[in-house]
Amino acid sequence: MGFSLTAYGVALHRYVHLIYDESPIIVDDDVIERLLNDDIKRNVMNTREKYLTREMCALRAHVLIRSRFTEDVITEAIKKGTDQVIILGAGLDTCSLRFAPKHNEVKFYEIDKPDSQAEKKRLIGQSDIRLPGNVVFIPTDFEDESLKDRMIENGIEFRKKAVISWLGVTMYLSKEAVKETLAVCAKFQKESKIVLTYANSENGSKRIEQRAAAAGELWMSNFSDQEISELIAEVGFRKGYVVDPGTILQRYFVERHDNLRMPRRLNIAVGET
């Protein structure tokens, strides 16, 4: 299988945001700098102009917004008493590493391919980051294993509420695997939520798809806005909807004065039980 190169790309953009973009910071990821090694950070410092091009800024804005929106949903859910946070296809996402020390009463579950988790653990082991005791790693193959069984085996409780993050993953799975995963997530207690991203069949970026393919990560599925909303509702969520770009613009971009602009494509959907 191997570790996802696109996961490293996402991590780089989160680091670049902290050193090159202006305030207000969209995702204040103070962990990612400690997770990446010095060679990677040195390369970023030596290629500043590359990351300030219009194309790179657009990609970074998309990466940051999907994370910030999701983390805001997680924050609100925790305030309302949710004590299970599940990160599907976590890659080098640092949400659990940042949130867990502040919320000892909440369990954070990272579910990803075994190779991806092994690489993340290696990076954590080489850093000064202490893995919080309320973070649980669950190695899983979404295509070939029972997600529900793996969850139950590792202490996740379907009789309780959960908030689930599933970012940058669905396009690498078959439509059947996407449907089955959503169906499992719809089984949590009422007032649970999932935030996911998807490749849009109506306005998808061929350039990003080609870059992923060049890294050996082929896109296998895409959905229109209507299709993803209907699928979320079909598998058992009380409501499924696509996030309104106007909401994102007002929340995160009205005070920006740097090169980060509202992404042309959001492709963020939400399911609520």
Residues in the chain: 273
Asked if 64 and 26 touch (Cβ cutoff 8 Å), the reply is yes
Q: What is the pLDDT of residue 212?
A: 60
Q: What is the pLDDT of residue 192?
A: 98
What's the rounded Cα separation, in Å, for the pair 165 and 152?
Answer: 18
Residues of the chain scoring pLDDT < 70: 1-3, 203-216
Residue 260 structure tokens:
């980060």
Q: What is the pLDDT of residue 170?
A: 95
Structural domains of the chain in order of their starting residue, each with its CATH number: 5-272 (3.40.50.150)
Burial 145-183 (b: 16+ CB within 10 A, else e): eebbebbeeeebebeebbbbbbbbbbbbbeeebbebbbb
Q: What is the pLDDT of residue 142?
A: 82
Q: Which residues pair with 270 in a beta bridge?
A: 195, 241
What's the rounded Cα separation, in Å, for the pair 2 and 263?
Answer: 30
What's the rounded Cα separation, in Å, for the pair 30 and 19?
Answer: 11
Residue 88 sits at the vertex; the CA angle it makes with 83 and 89, to the nearest 5 degrees, is: 145
231 alpha carbon, distance to own chain's centre: 20
pTM of the model: 0.93
What's the rounded Cα separation, in Å, for the pair 135 and 38?
Answer: 26
What's the rounded Cα separation, in Å, for the pair 241 and 202?
Answer: 16
Q: What is the pLDDT of residue 272?
A: 98
What's the rounded Cα separation, in Å, for the pair 124 and 109?
Answer: 16
Q: What is the pLDDT of residue 1?
A: 44
